[in-house]
Amino acid sequence: MEVTSTNRVATGVLARRAEHRSARSLLRIAVAVCAMQPVVAQTESSTRMSPSQSDEARASFATGSQPEQELQRGTALTSEGHFAEAIPHLLAAHGRVANEYAASFNLALCYVATGQPQPAIPILNELRAGNHENADVNNLLAQAYVAAGQDDNAFEPLQRAALLTPSNEKLYMFVADACMDKQNYALGVKVVELGLKNLSDSAQLYFERGMFLSLLDRFDDARHDFELARKLAPDSEIASISGAQEAMFEGKIAEAVRISREGISKGDHNFMLLTLLGEALLRSGITPGQKEFDEARQALEMAVSERPNYPSSQLALGKLFLLEGRTADAIVHLEIARNLGPNNPAVYSQLATAYRKAGDLPKAQDALATLAKLNQEQAEKIRTAPGDRKAGYDEVLGSQPRH
């Protein structure tokens, strides 16, 4: 018997894969794969790794190792979000346990969560070819295809998942998050619109489409979605986030600060709203010593504490510490932001400044070189891509470091 569940936990391990790319974009609400709980059997659980690594890993666990115990250990680690650590245990169990569905699904989950979608794809397709073509398998497969850049293959498994559980909002949000991660905004709109066909009153989906449309420079259309999100859920966190995000996109910094503060004062301590407040205060021109500077620090530290794998929070906190002269602390958070979002130009502009202030000129030059490379790649992407794949201005031109 299969016991599956998907529980959207706001964490950014896939960013994992890189994004919430620029602080302006505050790209996503959460990273999808990390929200999917591992499959747990009645008596055991499991996950596995790639075929090319199987013999070596199994050998390392061979003597005295019990497959069912490895399965349980691997699943426990997966449940705790320790995906990379889980893989060897799940690999040792793979092919040697009673519940091969659990072993395969959890392995694929760990692969995608650690930014390795390619080996996850055949595992999930094998499950689909067997007796396990359920919504979870199809949805995770769609995420893997998006992460692997195989857009042509991504939509079909999502459609299949939607046929099986059309009213499950999480299915659409998971794949939308994967699209945000890959800066594939056009596909993201398509994914969200599939969800809206089945959930026409979803404030979350309207907000998500507003984000995609904004990043496609279609802000007039996006504004309508932000307004709908607030109208559908007027007293919710999503209403506060939508209002603050809309104000940020419009450059209405004081309004973004006001809306964020109001939401937080009502008890909406969502990590995204806290990040929006911190970023808006930073953009307002605050300086160390002001009470607003302390307010921004507290908001960003709370956001990082709540969701340490949210790249925008780490980036904004690093920028704040840099302004405060806490260079070492700034570097810590900026490096975390880089690990979570290695393709975000804004991270490297800040890192270059931080390492220069720290006297580490080689690392500063490395950051500048990466920044120049990313800007060139983004400019080429925009030059050759169709209009609906165009990235936002801030994502194309990373902020240049201040000297």
Q: pLDDT tens, 81-90?
A: 899 999 998 8
Beta bridge partners of 45: 40
Predicted local distance difference test score (pLDDT) of residue 42:
32
Question: Do residues 45 and 74 lie in contact, with contact meaning Cβ atoms separated by under 8 Å?
Answer: yes
Report phi then psi at 233, rounded to 5: -135, 65
Beta bridge partners of 36: 6
List the chain domain ranges: 202-307, 311-403
Predicted local distance difference test score (pLDDT) of residue 232:
96
Q: pLDDT confidence of 307, banded at 50, 70, 90?
A: confident
- What lies within 8 Å, CB to CB, of 61 at 6+ separation is 70, 88, 89, 92
Axis crossing angle, helix 83-93 with helix 51-60, rounded to the nearest 10: 80
Contacts by residues 79-86 (CB-CB < 8 Å, ≥ 24 positions apart): 79/37, 79/38, 81/11, 81/13, 81/34, 83/13, 83/109, 83/110, 83/113, 83/114, 84/110, 84/114, 86/47, 86/110
Predicted local distance difference test score (pLDDT) of residue 27:
30
Report phi then psi at 364, rounded to 5: -65, -45
The amino acid that residue 38 corresponds to is P
- What lies within 8 Å, CB to CB, of 226 at 6+ separation is 206, 207, 210, 242, 243, 245, 246
The amino acid that residue 260 corresponds to is S
More confidently predicted of 267 and 140 = 140
Question: What dotted CATH number matches 202-307?
Answer: 1.25.40.10
Question: What dotted CATH number matches 311-403?
Answer: 1.25.40.10
- What lies within 8 Å, CB to CB, of 22 at 6+ separation is 344, 345, 346, 392, 394, 395, 398
Question: Do residues 222 and 392 lie in contact, with contact meaning Cβ atoms separated by under 8 Å?
Answer: no
The amino acid that residue 7 corresponds to is N
Q: pLDDT confidence of 65, banded at 50, 70, 90?
A: low
Predicted local distance difference test score (pLDDT) of residue 94:
80
**Segment 157-185, tens digit of pLDDT:** 999 999 999 999 999 999 999 998 887 89
What percentage of the chain carries pLDDT values higher than 90?
63
Other Cβ atoms less than 10 A from the Cβ of 368: the count is: 19
Cα separation, 18 vs 180, in Å, equals 10
**Segment 201-237, tens digit of pLDDT:** 999 999 999 999 988 889 889 999 999 999 999 989 9
Find the range with the poorest average confidence among 94-98, 102-106, 345-349: 94-98
The amino acid that residue 280 corresponds to is A
The answer, yes or no, to whether residue 382 has pLDDT greater than 50, is yes
Q: pLDDT confidence of 36, banded at 50, 70, 90?
A: low
Q: For residues 323-337, give the mean pLDDT.
A: 97
Find the range with the poorest average confidence among 114-128, 137-151, 172-186: 172-186
The answer, yes or no, to whether residue 33 has pLDDT greater than 80, is no
Residue 18 DSSP code:
S
The answer, yes or no, to whether residue 363 has pLDDT greater than 60, is yes
Predicted local distance difference test score (pLDDT) of residue 119:
95
Q: For residues 12-34, give the mean pLDDT.
A: 33
Predicted local distance difference test score (pLDDT) of residue 57:
45
What percentage of the chain carries pLDDT values higher than 70?
79
**Segment 248-303, tens digit of pLDDT:** 989 999 999 999 999 999 988 899 999 999 999 999 999 999 999 999 999 999 99
Q: For residues 147-164, give the mean pLDDT.
A: 95
Question: Do residues 231 and 246 lie in contact, with contact meaning Cβ atoms separated by under 8 Å?
Answer: no
Beta bridge partners of 6: 36
Contacts by residues 300-305 (CB-CB < 8 Å, ≥ 24 positions apart): 300/274, 300/275, 302/269, 302/271, 302/274, 303/271, 303/272, 303/274, 303/275, 303/278, 304/333
Average pLDDT, the chain: 82
Predicted local distance difference test score (pLDDT) of residue 315:
97
User: What's this model's pTM, rounded to 2 decimal places?
Assistant: 0.73
- For 271-281, b where at least 16 C-beta lie within 10 A, e where not — what string? bbbbbbbbbbb
Q: For residues 14-36, give the mean pLDDT.
A: 35
Question: Do residues 313 and 275 lie in contact, with contact meaning Cβ atoms separated by under 8 Å?
Answer: yes
Domain 202-307 identical in fold to domain 311-403: yes
